[in-house]
Structure 1
Amino acid sequence: MAVVKIFSGSEILAIGLQQKLAEIDIFPVVKNNMQAARTAGFGNTGLAVELFIEERELPLAEQVIEDYKMSL
Protein backbone atom coordinates (compact mmCIF):
# COMPACT_ATOMS: atom_id res chain seq x y z
CA MET A 1 0.00 0.00 0.00
CA ALA A 2 1.68 3.19 -1.18
CA VAL A 3 0.53 6.45 0.36
CA VAL A 4 0.85 10.00 -0.93
CA LYS A 5 0.79 13.26 1.00
CA ILE A 6 -2.12 15.41 -0.15
CA PHE A 7 -2.03 18.24 2.40
CA SER A 8 0.22 20.07 4.86
CA GLY A 9 -1.16 22.92 6.91
CA SER A 10 -3.10 23.96 9.95
CA GLU A 11 -5.24 21.55 11.89
CA ILE A 12 -8.43 23.47 11.11
CA LEU A 13 -7.85 23.34 7.35
CA ALA A 14 -6.88 19.67 7.54
CA ILE A 15 -10.12 18.82 9.32
CA GLY A 16 -12.10 20.63 6.61
CA LEU A 17 -10.41 18.68 3.83
CA GLN A 18 -10.76 15.47 5.79
CA GLN A 19 -14.54 16.04 6.01
CA LYS A 20 -14.81 16.74 2.26
CA LEU A 21 -12.94 13.52 1.48
CA ALA A 22 -15.13 11.54 3.88
CA GLU A 23 -18.14 12.57 1.77
CA ILE A 24 -16.70 10.47 -1.08
CA ASP A 25 -15.63 7.63 1.24
CA ILE A 26 -11.93 8.48 1.37
CA PHE A 27 -10.51 8.54 4.86
CA PRO A 28 -7.00 10.01 5.03
CA VAL A 29 -4.33 9.12 7.55
CA VAL A 30 -3.63 12.15 9.73
CA LYS A 31 -0.15 12.92 11.00
CA ASN A 32 -0.48 15.64 13.62
CA ASN A 33 3.03 16.91 14.36
CA MET A 34 1.69 19.65 16.64
CA GLN A 35 0.01 17.15 18.95
CA ALA A 36 3.10 14.94 18.93
CA ALA A 37 5.35 17.90 19.79
CA ARG A 38 3.01 19.04 22.55
CA THR A 39 2.94 15.56 24.06
CA ALA A 40 6.74 15.46 24.04
CA GLY A 41 6.93 18.91 25.68
CA PHE A 42 8.04 20.88 22.63
CA GLY A 43 6.34 23.57 20.60
CA ASN A 44 5.77 23.52 16.87
CA THR A 45 4.66 26.47 14.76
CA GLY A 46 5.20 25.01 11.28
CA LEU A 47 2.87 23.12 8.98
CA ALA A 48 1.78 20.85 11.74
CA VAL A 49 -0.80 18.54 10.18
CA GLU A 50 -0.33 16.30 7.16
CA LEU A 51 -2.92 14.17 5.39
CA PHE A 52 -2.06 11.03 3.44
CA ILE A 53 -4.22 8.79 1.25
CA GLU A 54 -3.59 5.58 -0.62
CA GLU A 55 -2.14 6.16 -4.05
CA ARG A 56 -4.99 4.26 -5.71
CA GLU A 57 -7.51 6.77 -4.24
CA LEU A 58 -5.73 9.80 -5.67
CA PRO A 59 -7.60 9.98 -9.01
CA LEU A 60 -10.94 10.12 -7.18
CA ALA A 61 -9.70 12.61 -4.58
CA GLU A 62 -7.89 15.07 -6.89
CA GLN A 63 -10.96 17.12 -7.80
CA VAL A 64 -12.15 17.34 -4.19
CA ILE A 65 -8.68 18.47 -3.08
CA GLU A 66 -8.44 21.07 -5.85
CA ASP A 67 -11.95 22.44 -5.13
CA TYR A 68 -11.17 22.66 -1.42
CA LYS A 69 -7.91 24.52 -1.99
CA MET A 70 -9.59 26.94 -4.40
CA SER A 71 -12.30 27.70 -1.84
CA LEU A 72 -9.78 28.89 0.77
Structure 2
Amino acid sequence: MGLMKIFSGSEILAQALQSKIEEVGVETVVKNNIQAARMSGFGGLGQAVEVFIYERDFGKVHQVIEDFKMGG
Protein backbone atom coordinates (compact mmCIF):
# COMPACT_ATOMS: atom_id res chain seq x y z
CA MET A 1 0.00 0.00 0.00
CA GLY A 2 1.15 3.49 -0.78
CA LEU A 3 0.55 7.01 0.30
CA MET A 4 -2.63 8.91 -0.42
CA LYS A 5 -2.99 12.69 -0.42
CA ILE A 6 -5.67 13.87 1.98
CA PHE A 7 -5.03 17.61 1.97
CA SER A 8 -3.51 20.35 -0.14
CA GLY A 9 -3.55 23.92 1.07
CA SER A 10 -1.95 26.42 3.38
CA GLU A 11 0.85 25.53 5.74
CA ILE A 12 -1.19 26.51 8.83
CA LEU A 13 -4.16 24.32 7.90
CA ALA A 14 -1.85 21.45 6.96
CA GLN A 15 -0.21 21.60 10.39
CA ALA A 16 -3.61 21.68 12.11
CA LEU A 17 -4.81 18.59 10.22
CA GLN A 18 -1.51 16.81 10.76
CA SER A 19 -1.82 17.38 14.50
CA LYS A 20 -5.39 16.03 14.63
CA ILE A 21 -4.43 12.91 12.69
CA GLU A 22 -1.35 12.21 14.79
CA GLU A 23 -3.49 12.52 17.96
CA VAL A 24 -5.26 9.30 16.92
CA GLY A 25 -1.94 7.55 16.36
CA VAL A 26 -1.66 7.72 12.58
CA GLU A 27 1.58 8.75 10.91
CA THR A 28 1.50 11.55 8.35
CA VAL A 29 3.88 12.64 5.61
CA VAL A 30 4.00 16.34 4.74
CA LYS A 31 5.36 17.70 1.48
CA ASN A 32 6.03 21.41 1.85
CA ASN A 33 6.53 22.89 -1.60
CA ILE A 34 6.67 26.39 -0.10
CA GLN A 35 9.89 25.59 1.76
CA ALA A 36 11.30 23.75 -1.26
CA ALA A 37 10.61 26.73 -3.51
CA ARG A 38 12.15 29.13 -1.01
CA MET A 39 15.29 26.99 -0.71
CA SER A 40 15.59 26.96 -4.51
CA GLY A 41 15.35 30.73 -4.72
CA PHE A 42 11.79 30.90 -6.01
CA GLY A 43 8.80 32.55 -4.41
CA GLY A 44 6.39 30.45 -2.38
CA LEU A 45 3.19 29.04 -3.77
CA GLY A 46 -0.01 29.76 -1.83
CA GLN A 47 -1.53 26.26 -1.72
CA ALA A 48 1.66 24.25 -1.77
CA VAL A 49 1.58 22.09 1.37
CA GLU A 50 0.29 18.54 1.01
CA VAL A 51 -0.52 16.01 3.74
CA PHE A 52 -0.38 12.29 3.02
CA ILE A 53 -1.27 9.18 5.00
CA TYR A 54 -0.76 5.51 4.26
CA GLU A 55 -3.76 4.01 2.49
CA ARG A 56 -4.07 1.33 5.17
CA ASP A 57 -4.78 4.05 7.79
CA PHE A 58 -7.62 5.78 5.93
CA GLY A 59 -10.34 3.96 7.88
CA LYS A 60 -8.83 5.16 11.16
CA VAL A 61 -8.81 8.84 10.17
CA HIS A 62 -11.69 9.19 7.74
CA GLN A 63 -13.93 10.82 10.36
CA VAL A 64 -11.12 13.11 11.55
CA ILE A 65 -10.64 14.32 7.96
CA GLU A 66 -14.37 14.87 7.46
CA ASP A 67 -14.67 16.80 10.74
CA PHE A 68 -11.69 18.93 9.74
CA LYS A 69 -13.27 19.74 6.36
CA MET A 70 -16.48 20.78 8.13
CA GLY A 71 -14.52 23.14 10.37
CA GLY A 72 -14.49 20.97 13.46
TM-score where L is the length of structure 1: 0.93
In the TM superposition, 1:24-35 aligns within 5 A as 24-35=24-35
- Residue 45 of structure 1 and its aligned partner are, at CA, apart by 2.4
Q: Is 1:5 aligned with 2:24?
A: no
Matched residue type, 1:64? V
Shift of 1:44: 2.6
**C-alpha distance in 1, partners of 2:44/2:62?**
29
Partner SS for 2:30 = strand
TM-score scaled by structure 2? 0.93
Where do 5+ consecutive residues of structure 1 fail to align? none
Q: Deviations over 1:20-61 (max 9, x none)?
A: 001101121000000000000001323110011100000111
Give the match for residue 71 of structure 1.
71
Aligned pairs for 1:1-72 within 5 A: 1-71=1-71
- How many correspondences in the alignment? 72
Look up the SS of the partner of 1:7 in the other structure. Answer: strand
